[in-house]
Amino acid sequence: MPEKLPSLASPSPQTATAHQARGFGKTAVLMGGFSGEREVSMMSGSGVLGALRSLGVDAHAFDPATQSLAALKDQGFERAFIALHGRMGEDGCIQGALEWLGIPYTGSGVMASAIAMDKVMTKRIWIDHGLPTPSFEALEPQLQVREHVRSVPDRLGLPLIVKPPHEGSSLGVTKVAGYSDIQEAVTLAASYDSTVMCEQFIEGDEVTCPVLGEGENALALPVVKIVAPEGKYDYENKYFTDVTNYLVPSGLPSELEAAIQAIVLKAYRALGCRGWGRADLMIRSADSKPFLLEMNTSPGMTSHSLVPKSALAAGIDYPQLCLRILSMARLDHDAKDKRPA
């Protein structure tokens, strides 16, 4: 059976929330940033900011693209909620800066963030742990020549997926149906990333499963089944249209949902993730076998985002979800005594 999440409620939830809110101190909601997902990050951050303020947290918007990170210390921030997506926000860079500043932050630490942002390294670790993930090839710049690129379908089959391994939100991703299309797809992905990843296409249903917590105390939230028009769950349909359906409860057999949650927890722990995250998977139609695609360590928190939808199905509303994530903010290493004043 799926693991049951403990409730955040208490005999007096309003009092508990107010007490928690005061204890967090001045909180920065990091949003915007420099990546191609800046627009989505602004939407996520605005939602988180409003939710935390509604519960009494002394929360303030902070855009690293327009303010020096040193201002976090200068302005007396005591905690940071990372609502940044993509490079320079989800890849260990901002986490490392916050470690240096001694400001506890939400989500995974430096190494786990860096690894999870790299889909190639993520898959190598999962494969080493015996976890199911589609076959792939990583094309470094010297392998992106036409002669080599045209041979990739011989090994991975068709159709296949071509993507930049350090981007999110489906940026630069192409489903390739034939040999004549693969070079254009590689060129597109290479415009986002020096390395290009070609991945076996899994025909079936797309699902996602969020996780809250750390280590053996991490818990998987309900699985969300994604039903996009013509199977096209791209950047536009993720954030800016209402044509994609999200099913939670997923409608999957309970045994399969529990199996997916178990795989996701193993994948999350294998990468050393903490705080929260969200794994994306495909369920192969032929045999209902789930395959891990990627792990998001700073998932979207917009009105279309999947973590809030899953959490709500588990009885955690959006403001309480934000508060719970914030309550788990910490540093990789507590070395305040070694930091300059």
Judge whether 155 lies within some domain: yes
Say how far apart CA 17 and CA 19 lie, in whole Å.
5
State the CATH number of the domain containing residue 90: 3.40.50.20
Pick from 151-155, 229-233, 300-304: least confident: 229-233
Q: Is 41 a catalytic residue?
A: no
The active-site residue out of 105, 192, 239, 318 is 239
Q: Are residues 221 and 100 in the same domain?
A: no
The active-site residue out of 90, 99, 257, 294 is 294
Q: Which amino acid is at 231?
A: G
Nearest-5° angle of CA 65, CA 327, CA 85?
30
- 294-326 pLDDT tens trace: 999 999 999 889 999 999 999 999 999 999 999
Q: Are residues 124 and 239 in the same domain?
A: yes
Domain that holds residue 208: 115-132+203-323
- Largest Cα–Cα distance of the chain, in whole Å? 67
Domains: count for the chain: 3
DSSP state of 5: P
Q: Is 74 a catalytic residue?
A: no
Of 165, 200, 235, which one is at a domain's C-terminal end? 200
- 232-278 pLDDT tens trace: 544 554 444 567 899 999 999 999 999 999 999 999 999 999 999 99
Say how far apart CA 171 and CA 38 lie, in whole Å.
12
C-beta separation of 97 from 72 below 8 A: no
Say how far apart CA 267 and CA 274 lie, in whole Å.
12
Q: Is 118 a catalytic residue?
A: no
State the CATH number of the domain containing residue 293: 3.30.470.20
Pairing, β 59-62 against β 27-30: parallel
